[in-house]
Structure 1
Amino acid sequence: MDPEFERAQTQGLLGPTPEFLTSIPVFPLIPHLKKDVTTVPDTALSWQQLTASDINFAVVRPLVFKYARLENLAVVYACLVVRAHFVSEAGSELAYAGVMLSRANLCEILAMKLLGQSASSKIQLVAVLTTSWNPLAGAPQDVVDQVKEALGGDEDDLNDDQCALEMAIATKAKAFLSSPVAQTVVDDIYSGRVIFSMPANRSVLADNYKPRAIEIYDYRKAPFLDHYRLRVPKYGAILEFINFALLLLTFILCLSKQDTQKITNFEVIFIVFALAFTLEEYTASKEHGWQIYIANMWNVFDTAFILIFLCYVVLRVKGVVQDDDLTSEWAFDVLACEACILFPRLAFFAIKNNIVVIALRGMIAEFVFFMGIAAICFSGLLFTLHTLAGDKWSVRGIAWLMVQIWFGNTYLSFGQASSFHPVFGPILMTGFAALSNTLLLTILISILSNTFARIDANATQEYLFQFAIATIEGVKSDALFSYQPPFNLLAFAILWPASWFVSPRTLHSANVFLIRLTSFPILATISLYERFFAAGKGLRESGKDAAQSIYNSLPRQLKNMPILDALLGANANDIYEALFDIDLEQHETQLFSDESDEDLRPPELRPLPSRDSLRDRRPLSPSSGGRGPSSPLRESHNRRRSGSGSPRPRRTALPPTIQTSSSAEVPSLSKQSPLAKLFSPNSVRQRAVSQIDRTPAMQQTDAALKRLESLLEDARNLPVIRLKDEMKELQERQARIETLLMTLTRGMRNETTHVSRQDTLP
C-alpha cells in the first residue's frame, strides 16, 4: 500500500464534512470564469499553442493564481461547466467553432492547473474530484427562478448534481482525465483505497440514510462483512466477468435444449439471468445518465444484447400464447444472434487494454456513419433501376443485388445490367460498380486507417479516458448494485415497493441485511483477501519469504531450470535489490578531498555567495585576522559590480585590510562610518567572543542592534530598489531594440548611399 495512505490510515484522516461541502458557493464562479475565458482567446488556437510558454505565462498562470487564491474546492468543477458551455456553443455556432473550441480547451487547461494546486493534500484532492456539486449552489433566487422557468418549471431538474469527474467525462476532457494528478485519484477509487458516496438522486432504489464522508479506507476499522466493498470498481469488474460467464453458460444451455412447444427449465433460467442483467444495465444508465453510460464502449455491446433479448421475449411470448411454432422458431433464431455479442464481449475482458480493442469503437462508428451516407446516396440509383425494370425486378431484389456489387461481386453488374434497360442499364450498373469498388471503398479504408492512426497516437490518453469511465460507473450509489444477478430482481421486488411506505432507517436496515445474506461468500472472500492476501499484508509477505528461502536452498542445477525461473522468477536482479537493503551510510569511504562541492566546480558554475554566508564561512584565525583569502569568483564578481569587464588584475595600491577583504561588495577607500563600524566583521566577531561577559544592559543593546539590522535588511526589498532594477531592465531592452533596428535598416542605408554616389557621377 502507498506509504501516504498508511500514514493517513494511522492518523484517521477524514475528508471535508458534507455540511461544509454543501455550503461552498458554486454559481458565483461560473460567470467570472466565462468572462475571463471569453476575453482572452479571440482567435482559434490549437492545444499546442495554448500550452506554449508564452500563452502559459501571459494568460494561464495569471488566471490560475487569481482563482487559486479563492481556495474554493468547486473551482475545478466550475471550469468544466464553462467548458461544457463552450463545447455546446461550438456545435451550434459553426462560424465561431474554432474560437469556441479554443476557449473550451483553455477551460480544460485551467482545470488541470487548478487541480494541481490541491495535489499537496490527498484527501482534499479526492474531495475536489468526487464531490457532487450543484451548479446553482450560492445563486440568487431570481437566477434560480429563471433557470427553473427555462427548464419547464420542474423542481426535480434543479437537483442534477454531478462531480468533476462526471463533468470531465461528459465534456470529453481526455487530457484532464489522463493527467497524473487525476489518474492518481481514479486509481485509488478503482482499487478501493478511497471511500466516498454519491447522492442517489436518480436511482431506482435509493438508500441515502447514512451518507459517508470522504475517507481513506482502513480494513482494521471496517466491519468484517462490509457491504460497501461490493461497490469497489475492482471487485465489481471481477464479479461482472463471473456474472457474464454465467449468462453465457445459461444462453448455451437454452439454445441446446430449445423446444417450440413449451418453455424448458434452462430457458427459464436464462430468461431470469437475462432479466437481471437488463435491470442492472438500466439502473446503470439511470444512475449516471445515458451520455456517460454510452461513452463506455462495452455498454454498446450490452445495449445491443438487451435489444435482441427483448425481441426474443416478444416473439417467444407471442408464439407460446398463440401456439405458433413458426413464431417460436423465429424467436430462437433471433436469440441465436446473441452469440455474435456474448462471445466477443466475454473475450474482450481479457484483452480490453489492447489498442485494437480501444480503437474498435471509433472505427465501428466511422464505418456505420459512412455506410449510412452511401446508402442515402445510392437510394436514387435504386429508385431509377426499379423504374426502368418495371415488373422484372422487385425493390428487395435490386437492393440485394446492389449490396453484392458493393462488396465485390462486380460480375453481377455486367451480367444483369441489360435486364434493367438495354441502353441505360449497362451505363448505370458500370458506373455504380466503379464508384462502389474503386472510389468509395478506397475512401472507407482511408477513413478507418486515419481513425486507427489518430487513436493509436493518443492510445494512452484514450485508454485512461475509458478507464476513468469504467471507474466512475463502478462507484454507484443505487442499492441494487450491491446485489449480484439474479438476486437484484429479488431485492427490487421486495425493497422497491417497501420504499414507498417504510422509513429510511427501516429501508436501510433491510437493505443491509439482504446484501449480507445474499452476498455472504463474496463479502467473506473480500474481507479475507484485504486482511491477509492483499499486497503488503503479513501472510502474503511471509509466504513470499518462505518460497524465496526454499528457492535459495535448492542446488544451482535446480535453480537454473527454466520452469523454476518462470514460476519463481530469476534472481539476476536480487543482488541489486539486496545492495540497497544494507545501511550504505556506515560503509562510506573518503572518496573526495576535503574541498566542498562548490570548490570542485568551475568558477563560472559556482553560485554567487551572499554576505551572510561569506561572513559565516570566514575562518576566525589570528593569523588572517578573521578574513579568508579572496577567490577568483569574488574578484570577477567585484569587477562586475564595479562595472569593469577587464580580466586584468587591479592595482594593489590599497591598504592591506582592503586588499584581503573577502566581502562580496566593492571595498571603499573612505573612512568607515559609525554604522559601518558597528556592523563590520571585526565588531561582530568581538561581540561573539565577549558575549559571556555581557551585562543585561549590554544584551538589551545587542537585541536593539539586531532589530535595527533586520530593519536595514528589510529596507533592501523596498519598492525603490525594485523600481531601479526594472528601470535598468527597460534600458537594456531599449538598447537591444535599437541595435536590432540598426541591423534591420543597414541594407536601406547602404542602398541610399549607393544611389547618391551614382547621382554624383558625371
Structure 2
Amino acid sequence: MDPEQQSSALLAPTQEHLAQIKVFPLIPALRKDITNTIDTALSWEQLTASDINFTIVRPLVLKYARLKNMSCVYAALVVRSYFLAESEVELAYAGVMLSRASLAQILAIKLLSRWAANHIQLVAVLTTCWNPLAGATDEVVDEVKQTLGAHANEDIDSPQSAIEMAISTQSKFFLSSPVTQRVINDIYTGRIVFSTTAHRSILADNYKPRAIEIYNPQNAPFLDHYRLRVPKYGAVLEFVNFALLLFTFVLCLANQNESKLTPWELAFIVFASAFTLEEYTASTEHGWIIYIANMWNAFDFAFILIFLTYLALRIKGLSDGNLDLSDMAFDILSCGACILFPRLAFFAVSNNVVILSLRAMITQFVFFIGIAAICFSGLLFTLWTLARDAPNDHAWTFKSIAWLMVQIWFGNTYLSFAQATSFHPLFGPILMTVFAALSNTLLLTILISILSNTVARIDANATQEYLFQFAITTIEGVKSDALFSYQPPFNLLAFLILKPASWFLTPRALHSTNVFLIRLTSLPQLVLIGLYERHLAAGQGLRETSKDAAQSFFNSLPRHIKNMPLVEALVGSSSNDLYDAIFDVDIGEEDDIFDDDEFGDEIPALRSFHSRENVNARSDGSPAPRIRRRPASLSRAATVTSERTSPRPRLLSSLTPIDPVHSGEMLSSARSPLARLFNPRFPSTNEPPHTAIAENVKKIEALLEDVKELPVQRLKEEMKELQDRQARIENLLLMLTRGMRNETSRHDSIP
C-alpha cells in the first residue's frame, strides 16, 4: 500500500460520525426544490443540456454541496423513488413526475462527484446503509409509524445504501457513471474492504464491524474468511457449486428409482436444498426488488419452484407408496434441465448484449402472450359453447379446443379451416377465419415489431444495461448474512448449528464459533485465495517477475521474429512501448520550441469551476494552496529591461513583432526629419500613404493594448524617459529655429 492510500485510509469516517449524520432534513428540502424547479415534462437530453445545467442543476448542486452531508446522494435517490411512485399514481402529470425523477438522478450524480477527491469517503457515501428517519424529530417518527401501521418497526429498522437505492429505482445513468463504477469495481475485486450491518439476515453476525479500508494482502491474515465475500471469488465459487448441482441433477435422473431413494438422488436433494437456502437468504438480505432485478435470479427462482414441487410429490409418493406420484415428480424435475443447462452456460456470457436482449425479449414475449391469452379466452369459451350443442361425432372438450387454438396461433392455419364446421355450420368458419387472421397476420407482426424494437433499444443502451447488471451482481456478492460465507452444502450445516446457538450464545461467542466453522469448512478455498493474492495477483512479486522474464525473453528474440504477424498479434507491437517511453521522458528547457514567457499564458483554455476545484484539491479533500501566476506583462519585463540598455530604445520592438519580409519597405516610410527621429528603424514603403497610416494605426493600437498590461511602476519609468526625450527634442527645435526668431544670446547656453 502506498503512503497516499495509507493516509486516505485513516480518513475513513467512523461509525459514530456516520450515525450522527442527519438524513431526514435533506429529503423534504430536495423534494421541495425539485418540485419548484421542474414544472414541465423534459427529456433526459434536455435536462443534461448546457443551459439547463448552468441555470438549474448547478445552483442546486452548489446549494447542497455546501452542507458537506455524506447522505445527500442517498437522499436524492430517495426523492427519485418518490417521484417515480407519484408518476404511477398521478397519470395526468406522469411526464412531469418522470422529469423530476430524472433531475433527482442528475443531482445524485453531480453531488457524488463532489466526494470523488477522497476515495475512502466516496466509498462511504455509496456503501453506508442510511436510515431515512435519521435526524427526524420524535413527532415525525411517530407520524411515520402511524402511517405504516403494524409493520412500522420492521420498515424503520431496514436502512439501505445509496447503491441499493439506485438499483431499486432503476438509476442506470447513476450506476454507469465513472465515479460509481470505480467504487463498484473496487468492491468486486476486493480492493475495498468494508462490512455492512445485517438487519434482515437469517443469521446475523454484527460483532466486529469493520471500517472502510484499502485491502493489503501482506498485512491481512493468511486465512482471511472475509475474502469469501469478495464478489470476484464468489463468482468462481458459485460456478463450481452450480456445476456440482448440475452434475448431481443429471445422475439423479439417470439413476431414478420410483420405489426408493438412490444415493445420487439424496446427494441432489442435499445440494438443491443448500441452493434453495442460499437464494432465500439473498432475497431476504437485500429485498425482493433488488433480488429479482437480476435476470438470472428469475431463472434460479423458477428452478427452486420446480425442485420444491418435485420434493413435495416425491415425499408424498414414498410415504403413500404411490409410484404414479413418484413418476410425476421425476417428470416435473426433468423440466428443470431447461433451466439448469443454459444457466451454467450463461455464467461465462451473463452480461453479453445478446443475453441482455434475450432477457428483455422474454419479458416482452411473456407479457404479450398473456395479453393475447386473455383476449382470446372469450373465443375459447364461445367455441366450447358452440361445440357442446354441435351435432357431430367428435366431442370437443375445453382442453382440446385450447390445444387447437395454440396450434393455430403458432402457424398451423389448416386446422382452423378443416375443423371450423365441426363447431357450427355458420359461426364456426367465421370465428376460426377471424382468429387465424388475427393470430397469424396481425398479432404476430406486432410481436415481431415489439421484439425488434426491444433488441434495438437494448443494443443502443448495452453499456448501461451491462453496468446495471454488474452493479446488482456486485452488491449481491457483498452480503452481510453469515450464511453466505459457507459454500453449499455446508450452509445447511451452519444453519442447523448456528441458528439455535444464536438464541443463547453471546455475540462474541457466536462470532468465534462462526469464524471457526468458516475456516474449517472452507479451508481449501481460503488457502488458494491467500496464495493467489500474495503471489499471483496483479502487482505481486511472482507475477511481476514472470512478466519481466517474459519481456526479457521477447526482447532477446531476433528482429525478424518479433516482426512476424502472429507474434506481433499475440504479444503486441513494440511501437506502443516506444510511445509510452516517449511520454515518460522529462523534457528539458532546451527541447522546448516555444517561449513560455511570451506565449505560455496566451493559450486559450476552457475550464469550469468544478474542474478547478478538483485540480486544487488535496488527497484528503482540503483545498490546495492557490498558485499565484504573474501576468504576461511581468514575464516580458525582463526582456524590455534588457533591451533598454542598448544604444537605441527598443520599447516598440519588444512589444510589437516586426515582419522581416516588409522590413525594407518600412524603413523607407520615414519622409520627414521628425519621422526619422521618432522612428528610425521602420522601413519605408511604396504603398499609398493611407495604407501605411492604417498599418501604423493598427500597430499603435496593438501597442496600446500591450501597454495596458504593463505594471504601474514600469509605465512611470517609460513615461519619464519619454518626457526627457521630448524635452531634448524641444530644446533641439528651439536651437534650430533660433535664427529665424532673431534670438542669439539667450540660447547660447543650451547644450
TM-score, normalized by length of structure 1? 0.81
Report the alpha carbon displacement of residue 198 of structure 1 after superposing the two structures with TM: 1.2
Report the alpha carbon displacement of residue 54 of structure 1 after superposing the two structures with TM: 1.2
Alpha-carbon distance in structure 2 between the residues aligned to 1:401 and 1:297? 33
User: Secondary structure at the residue paired with 1:378?
Assistant: helix
Q: Which residue of 1 aligns with 2:286?
A: 288
Report the alpha carbon displacement of residue 423 of structure 1 after superposing the two structures with TM: 0.7
Q: Which residue of 1 aligns with 2:663?
A: none
Q: Which residue of 2 aligns with 1:118?
A: 115
Alpha-carbon distance in structure 2 between the residues aligned to 1:651 and 1:590? 34
1:619 maps onto 2:641 in alignment: yes
1:516 maps onto 2:519 in alignment: yes
Report the alpha carbon displacement of residue 186 of structure 1 after superposing the two structures with TM: 0.7
Deviations 1:292-336 (A, max 9, x none): 000000101100000000000011001100111111110000010
Q: Which residue of 2 aligns with 1:577?
A: 577
Q: Which residue of 1 aligns with 2:65?
A: 68
Report the alpha carbon displacement of residue 619 of structure 1 after superposing the two structures with TM: 2.8
Q: Judge conservation of contact 2:353–2:462 (CA < 8 Å) in 1.
A: yes
Alpha-carbon distance in structure 2 between the residues aligned to 1:586 and 1:447? 58
Q: Judge conservation of contact 2:597–2:632 (CA < 8 Å) in 1.
A: no
Distance 1:310 1:616, change over 3 A: farther
Q: Which residue of 2 aligns with 1:214?
A: 212
Report the alpha carbon displacement of residue 564 of structure 1 after superposing the two structures with TM: 6.3
The equivalences for 1:82-481 within 5 A come to 82-153=79-150, 154-390=152-388, 392-481=395-484
Distance 1:661 1:629, change over 3 A: farther
Alpha-carbon distance in structure 2 between the residues aligned to 1:659 and 1:12? 55
Q: Judge conservation of contact 2:655–2:706 (CA < 8 Å) in 1.
A: no
Read off the aligned partner of 1:158 and give its amino acid letter.
I
Report the alpha carbon displacement of residue 401 of structure 1 after superposing the two structures with TM: 0.4
Report the alpha carbon displacement of residue 349 of structure 1 after superposing the two structures with TM: 0.9
Gaps of 5+ in 1: 635-645, 668-674, 686-762
Alpha-carbon distance in structure 1 between the residues aligned to 2:506 and 2:434? 72
User: Secondary structure at the residue paired with 2:80?
Assistant: helix
Equivalent of 2:707 in 664, 673, 691: 664
Q: Judge conservation of contact 1:603–1:632 (CA < 8 Å) in 2.
A: no
The equivalences for 1:32-47 within 5 A come to 32-47=29-44
Report the alpha carbon displacement of residue 550 of structure 1 after superposing the two structures with TM: 3.7
Read off the aligned partner of 2:324 and give its amino acid letter.
L
Q: Which residue of 2 aligns with 1:631?
A: 655
Alpha-carbon distance in structure 2 between the residues aligned to 1:237 and 1:589? 53
User: Secondary structure at the residue paired with 2:707?
Assistant: coil
Report the alpha carbon displacement of residue 55 of structure 1 after superposing the two structures with TM: 0.8
Alpha-carbon distance in structure 1 between the residues aligned to 2:164 and 2:500? 30
User: Secondary structure at the residue paired with 2:530?
Assistant: helix
Report the alpha carbon displacement of residue 561 of structure 1 after superposing the two structures with TM: 7.7
Deviations 1:425-449 (A, max 9, x none): 0111011000000000000111111
Report the alpha carbon displacement of residue 678 of structure 1 after superposing the two structures with TM: 10
Alpha-carbon distance in structure 2 between the residues aligned to 1:49 and 1:548? 51
Q: Which residue of 1 aligns with 2:664?
A: none
Q: Judge conservation of contact 1:619–1:627 (CA < 8 Å) in 2.
A: no
The equivalences for 1:494-505 within 5 A come to 494-505=497-508
Distance 1:210 1:618, change over 3 A: farther
Alpha-carbon distance in structure 2 between the residues aligned to 1:286 and 1:586? 57
Alpha-carbon distance in structure 2 between the residues aligned to 1:659 and 1:495? 85
- The root-mean-square deviation of aligned C-alpha atoms, in Å, is 3.2
Deviations 1:81-120 (A, max 9, x none): 0000000000111111000000000000010011111111
Deviations 1:361-399 (A, max 9, x none): 211111111111101111111111111111631100100
Distance 1:583 1:66, change over 3 A: closer
Stretch of structure 1 that moved more, 111-120 or 543-552: 543-552
User: Secondary structure at the residue paired with 1:137?
Assistant: coil
Distance 1:581 1:314, change over 3 A: same
Q: Which residue of 1 aligns with 2:12?
A: 15
Alpha-carbon distance in structure 1 between the residues aligned to 2:464 and 2:475? 17
Distance 1:676 1:539, change over 3 A: closer
Report the alpha carbon displacement of residue 197 of structure 1 after superposing the two structures with TM: 1.2
Gaps of 5+ in 2: 390-394, 606-628, 659-692, 722-751
Read off the aligned partner of 1:241 and give its amino acid letter.
F
Read off the aligned partner of 2:89 and give its amino acid letter.
S
User: Secondary structure at the residue paired with 2:220?
Assistant: coil
Read off the aligned partner of 2:708 and give its amino acid letter.
E
Q: Judge conservation of contact 1:166–1:472 (CA < 8 Å) in 2.
A: yes
Report the alpha carbon displacement of residue 253 of structure 1 after superposing the two structures with TM: 0.7
Report the alpha carbon displacement of residue 622 of structure 1 after superposing the two structures with TM: 2.4
Report the alpha carbon displacement of residue 555 of structure 1 after superposing the two structures with TM: 6.0
Read off the aligned partner of 1:535 and give its amino acid letter.
A
Report the alpha carbon displacement of residue 354 of structure 1 after superposing the two structures with TM: 1.5
User: Secondary structure at the residue paired with 1:619?
Assistant: helix
Report the alpha carbon displacement of residue 189 of structure 1 after superposing the two structures with TM: 0.6
Q: Judge conservation of contact 1:627–1:661 (CA < 8 Å) in 2.
A: no
User: Secondary structure at the residue paired with 2:97?
Assistant: helix
Report the alpha carbon displacement of residue 359 of structure 1 after superposing the two structures with TM: 1.4
Alpha-carbon distance in structure 2 between the residues aligned to 1:118 and 1:185? 12
Read off the aligned partner of 1:52 and give its amino acid letter.
A
Stretch of structure 1 that moved more, 547-556 or 512-521: 547-556
The equivalences for 1:517-596 within 5 A come to 517-553=520-556, 569-571=570-572, 573-578=573-578, 580-581=580-581, 585=585, 595-596=595-596
Equivalent of 1:490 in 475, 490, 493: 493
Distance 1:684 1:221, change over 3 A: farther
User: Secondary structure at the residue paired with 2:261?
Assistant: coil
TM-score, normalized by length of structure 2? 0.82
Report the alpha carbon displacement of residue 680 of structure 1 after superposing the two structures with TM: 3.8
Alpha-carbon distance in structure 1 between the residues aligned to 2:3 and 2:243? 36
Distance 1:519 1:415, change over 3 A: same
Distance 1:617 1:519, change over 3 A: farther
Stretch of structure 1 that moved more, 351-360 or 517-526: 351-360
Distance 1:89 1:144, change over 3 A: same
Alpha-carbon distance in structure 2 between the residues aligned to 1:684 and 1:157? 82
Alpha-carbon distance in structure 1 between the residues aligned to 2:46 and 2:604? 36
User: Secondary structure at the residue paired with 1:420?
Assistant: coil
Read off the aligned partner of 1:619 and give its amino acid letter.
T
Distance 1:78 1:336, change over 3 A: same
Alpha-carbon distance in structure 2 between the residues aligned to 1:610 and 1:291? 60
Alpha-carbon distance in structure 2 between the residues aligned to 1:603 and 1:330? 80
Distance 1:619 1:318, change over 3 A: same
Read off the aligned partner of 1:143 and give its amino acid letter.
V
Stretch of structure 1 that moved more, 216-225 or 278-287: 216-225
Distance 1:684 1:414, change over 3 A: farther
User: Secondary structure at the residue paired with 2:538?
Assistant: coil
Q: Judge conservation of contact 1:408–1:437 (CA < 8 Å) in 2.
A: yes
Alpha-carbon distance in structure 2 between the residues aligned to 1:62 and 1:322? 73
